[in-house]
Amino acid sequence: MILLRIALRNLGRAKTRTVLSIISIAVGVFVVLVSKGFIDGIMDQMYDGTIRFASGHIRIVHDQYPAKEQLLSLHYTVDDDLLLDLDEVPGLVAVSPRLRFGGLVSREATTQSVRITAIDGQREEAMSGMSRFLVGRWMLPGTREVVAGGAFLDKAGLVVGDRITVVFNTAFGAMRGITFEIVGSLESGFVMLDHDSLFMDLNLAQELLEIPGEVTEITLLAGQIDAVEGLLSTVEALVPTGTSAIPWYAHSEMVEYLVVWDSVYIFMYLIIVGLSTFVVINTMIMVINERTREIGMLSALGLSPGQVLRMFLWEGGIIGITGAVIGAIPGSLLLLIGERTGLELYDPASLDAQYFMTPKLYPTFSTSILTYVMILAVLVTLFAVWLPSRTAAKLEPSVALRRNG
């Protein structure tokens, strides 16, 4: 324990040196933590939006449907009997059928096209958790009620409680116009949901479109994204011929593009980690080197190389932990605040609906990454101390004492 006492006294004696070492570690931790938080934030946000609102982890559709999807075709549907089988599959946390079709909303002289998604409220909530965006309430089963995108309502000059008439074609091409009551609006920040979306009850839509028991897709959510691969074969065995189970990463070229971006970001992140490590090591090497004489003195006084090394490791450990904590506090605060408020990236109106991006970037804070970054910082510091002090401790006291500094 005497070594720990010497270490503490050494740190207090050379305050500037200690402070500089701590700063390099703290900034290193801050930089790595914040970069990772932002990178994970943007990637999660993009993947998460696409997975929850479009692709699911796995999406079951008619083989021909992806090609016709843009048209919101009703000719390539899936039988919703499949739901019962899918409910039995272990490892799935949500199984949500969706029936998507296009319609026109006319009000006075103007008409506007809308994308209508008919859902089973309870199942959809488990899938996308849309209630967190809801102002008002969800439609009741079997009633002629809809929930609409907030931006869409604003544009049309409508409010919750108003009635709108939606014109659409049934699956057999007959045109229908039905009046609904707007019972809720969605304020999600996702262009796709807010600007031209209507949600209605699935059973009602099947009846109105004259396709009872049919849906355009069934989306599945696994408990863990890593489990998708395993579940895919189980699900594929269940679906009838002519129907495909498509994993999230094959959903669209956009997702494939994101996967590539992900690797670019990981590369940048590794460079930041590398440079931070280098800076810490460099600083520590300088600090130890200038103390070669001191090491000589300690050796001359009878400390063994092992004891000298342990004393330096104590110092390194204390500096490493202090630096990591000091860097982690502002870094975590920044991420936690950013997670709540978000950073505005661009004008929400300018983005095409096909991207599931919110106009704000939300970094993510995760305790596991915080722990990992802090442990890494302490390990790097210990290594940075160990490297030069091992050599210095082995020097003959007479040689070390003659060194500069």
**Residue 132 beta carbon to another protein: minimum distance, rounded to whole angstroms:** 23
Nearest distance from residue 63's CB to another protein, in Å?
11
Write the CB contacts of 115 (distance below 8 Å, at least 6 apart in sequence): 72, 100, 102, 196, 197, 198
User: How far is the C-alpha of 316 from the C-alpha of 395, rounded, in Å?
Assistant: 20
Q: Compare residues 8 and 67 and give the one whose CB is closer to another protein.
A: 67
Identify the residue among 4, 6, 286, 336 touching another protein (CB under 8 A): 286
- Residue 279 binds another protein (CB under 8 A): yes
DSSP assignments along 323-371, one per residue? HHHHHHHHHHHHHHHHHHH-EE-S-GGGS-TTS---SEE-----HHHHH
Q: From the CB of 10, what's the least distance to another protein, in Å?
A: 15
State how far the Cα of 72 lies from the Cα of 263, in Å rounded to an integer: 33
By rule CB under 8 A, what string of x and - marks binding of each residue 10-49 to another protein? ------xx--x--xx--xx--x--xx--xx--x-------
Q: Which of 256, 341, 375, 398 binds another protein (CB under 8 A)?
A: 256
User: Crossing angle, helix 15-50 and helix 253-289, to 10 degrees?
Assistant: 170
Tell me: does residue 333 bind another protein (CB under 8 A).
Answer: no
Query: In 44-78, which positions are buried (b, 16+ CB within 10 angstroms) versus exposed (e)?
Result: ebbbebbbbbbbbbbbbbbeebbeebeebbbebbb
Q: Going residue by residue from 208 to 247, which x/- string records binding to another protein, judged by CB under 8 A?
A: ----------------------------------------
Nearest-angstrom CA–CA distance, 151 and 114 = 12
Point out which residues bind another protein (CB under 8 A).
16-17, 20, 23-24, 27-28, 31, 34-35, 38-39, 42, 67-68, 70-71, 252-254, 256-257, 260-261, 265, 268-269, 271-272, 275-276, 278-279, 282-283, 285-287, 289-290, 343, 345-347, 350-352, 354-355, 357, 361, 405
